[in-house]
Structure 1
Amino acid sequence: MTGEAVVLGLRTAKLPSRALAVVLDLAVEFAAFFIVTVLLLTLLEGLDGAAAAALMICMMVFFLVAVPVTVETLTHGRSLGKMALGLRVVRLDGGPARFRHALVRGLVGIIEIILLTGVPAAITSLVNSDGRRLGDIFAGTIVVRERVPAGRSTGPVVAPPPQVMAALGTDLVRLDLSSVPEGLWLAIRQLLGRADQLDAEVAFRMAHQLAGDVAMRTQWPVPAGLHPALYLGAVLTERQRREWQRAAAAAPYAQPMAPSPYAPPVPVPVPSPFAPPMPQFAPPAAPVRYLGVPPQAPAPSAPVPQAPVQSAPVPQAPVQPAPVPPAPVQPPPVVPVQVTPPPVLPVRAAEPQDAPPATAPVADGGFALPG
Structure 2
Amino acid sequence: MSELVTGEAVALELRPAKLPSRALAVLIDMVVAWSVYLAVTLGLLAAAGSLDDAAVAAIAVGTFVLVLVGVPIAVETLSHGRSLGKLACGLRVVRDDGGPIRFRHALVRGAVGVVEILLMFGVVACIASLVSARGRRLGDVFAGTLVVRERVPTGRMEYVPAPPPWLVGRFAELDLSAVPDGLWLAIRQYLTRMGQLDPQVGWAMAERLAADLVARTGAPAPEGVPPAAFLAAVVHERQAREVRRAFGGPGRPGVQGEPFTPPGITPAAPATYASSTPPAPSQSPGPSPGPGAPAPAAPAPPAPPAPASSRSASAAPSASEEPPRPATGFVPPA
TM-score of the superposition, structure 2-length normalised?
A: 0.47
Larger Rg: 1
